[in-house]
Amino acid sequence: MQAPQTAAFQPPRRILMGPGPSDVPQRILDAMARPTIGHLDPAFTTMMEETKALLRYAFQTENKLTFPVSGPGSVGMETCFVNLVEPGDTVVVCINGVFGGRMLENVKRCGGVPVVVEDAWGRAVDPGKVEAAFQAHPEAKLLAFVHAETSTGAQSDGAALAAIARRHGALTIMDCVTSLGGTPVLIDQWGIDAAYSGSQKCLSCTPGLSPVTFGEAAIAKVKARKTPVQSWFMDLNLVLGYWSGEGKRTYHHTAPINPLYGLHEALRILAEEGIENAWARHRAQHQALKAGIEVLGLDFVVPEDERLPQLNAVGLPEGVDDAAARGRLLNEFSLEIGAGLGALAGRIWRIGLMGASARADNVDLCLKALKAVIR
Ligand SMILES: *Cc1c(COP(=O)(O)O)cnc(C)c1O
């Protein structure tokens, strides 16, 4: 068999203003190009410990069990569900977009009994409905919700939802893939028991890593399981020996060494900026984009007080062809924005202002480019 003839891949330069990945700063790419070392090398484990400390800062938590799962955000999602949902557990699942639907799928596959709380796509989760669901199902052991619904750009009230679960003796799983680093995620203050995120959204790293954090009550539930976690790879009891950092580190799987250099650098950038400053920057760039969007006459999908600064969903203008317009943005402006998902496919655009992408010149370019393709 003949080897295929190829050239080294040279990706085009793009400006990434979609739902992730976001622009990756050169500093992070440089970090990832450094020499690969063994994942049990003491130098590597020192970096792992720093990464965990930096992640605790990003999540605003003292949780010891805070680490990046080797896999994209979806693997962080599964890690939470396969460990915390035992067959027969009743789980209140909030659905107000695509990712809440994936949570439901996870609950079902873990043998959990879902109680679905539905809200319209484009709206926050209604705490009143969650309260009613717990009153109707006092046996519920878990609440699962998406803090920042990337499919619509709606932000839910993490503090209020976690408080309801706590009052009813249930644990909380929160998806903060799109919120971490872009808008406040206060794990300890809100009392979130388990949360997962992703490297490629507001942390502006390359895709493929999923920061997770688990509190004491969540760990106790995993340890008290009557049935083994059905996934060997994601079983926290096994992963703990690798990430715990208490002296002897045992082989579990080979960590993605170089991507972890990248995450370490991305988190250092966040720490240097200061997380409050990062939140403020996302808000400020959102305000600038919003002003321009309104001048263009486009409407936001989400009501103002439920809007995420880092994911701006706007209705497609009358008579504009979705794929053709986004094609022009890519070809003429090297700009990527997101299409609608699920029920909103072909009806909205999703403009991301995530991490390093949330900067004034990107907002200017995006508005100029949108104006050109809408005309
Ligand atoms: C992107 C995203 C995910 C999935 O992350 P992947 O890295 O694509 O697996 C999950 N939840 C939300 C809210 C997301 O935005």
Domains contained in the chain, CATH given:
15-21+275-374 (3.90.1150.10), 27-270 (3.40.640.10)
* Ligand 1 atom 5, closest CA: 73
Query: Ligand 1 pocket by C-beta < 6 Å: which residues?
Result: 20, 72-74, 77, 99, 146, 150, 175, 177-178, 198, 207
Out of 151, 178, 308, 353, mutate this one to test ligand 1's pocket (max ligand atoms within 8 Å of CB): namely: 178
Out of 99, 121, 203, mutate this one to test ligand 1's pocket (max ligand atoms within 8 Å of CB): namely: 99
> What is the per-residue pLDDT for 160?
98
Q: Is the pLDDT of residue 119 over 90?
A: yes
Which of 126-130, 202-206, 239-243, 259-263 bottoms out in mean pLDDT, i.e. has the lowest?
Answer: 239-243
Residue 128, both tokens: 């009143």
> What is the per-residue pLDDT for 343?
85
CA of 319 to the centre of ligand 1 (A): 31
> What is the per-residue pLDDT for 246?
59
- Other Cβ atoms closer than 10 A to 167: 10
- Confidence category of residue 243, pLDDT binned at 50, 70, 90: confident
Q: Please state the atom number of ligand 1 nearest to the C-alpha of residue 208.
A: 7
CA of 372 to the centre of ligand 1 (A): 30
* Ligand 1 atom 6, closest CA: 73
**218-229 pLDDT per residue, tens:** 999 999 999 999
> What is the per-residue pLDDT for 66?
97
CA of 1 to the centre of ligand 1 (A): 39
Q: How far apart are CA 184 and CA 58, in angstroms?
A: 9
Q: How far apart are CA 255 and CA 251, in angstroms?
A: 10
Tell me the average pLDDT across 250-266: 94
Query: What's this model's pTM, rounded to 2 decimal places?
Result: 0.97
**6-47 pLDDT per residue, tens:** 999 999 999 999 999 999 999 999 999 999 999 889 999 999
Q: Please state the atom number of ligand 1 nearest to the C-alpha of residue 77.
A: 10
Q: How far apart are CA 227 and CA 238, in angstroms?
A: 15
Tell me the average pLDDT across 323-332: 97
- Confidence category of residue 245, pLDDT binned at 50, 70, 90: low
Q: Please state the atom number of ligand 1 nearest to the C-alpha of residue 72.
A: 7
Q: Which residue has the higher pLDDT, 237 or 367?
A: 367
Residue 93, beta-bridge partner list: 116, 144
* Ligand 1 atom 8, closest CA: 73
What does pLDDT average to over the chain? 96
* Ligand 1 atom 3, closest CA: 73
Percent of the chain at pLDDT > 70 equals 99
Out of 74, 156, 205, mutate this one to test ligand 1's pocket (max ligand atoms within 8 Å of CB): namely: 74
CA of 198 to the centre of ligand 1 (A): 7
Q: Is the pLDDT of residue 161 over 60?
A: yes
CA of 19 to the centre of ligand 1 (A): 9
Out of 69, 177, 196, mutate this one to test ligand 1's pocket (max ligand atoms within 8 Å of CB): namely: 177
The one-character DSSP state at 271 is H
CB 138 within 8 A of CB 165: no
**49-64 pLDDT per residue, tens:** 999 999 999 999 999 9
- For 172: left if phi > 0, alpha if psi spans -120 to 50, otherwise beta; the answer is beta
- For 98: left if phi > 0, alpha if psi spans -120 to 50, otherwise beta; the answer is alpha
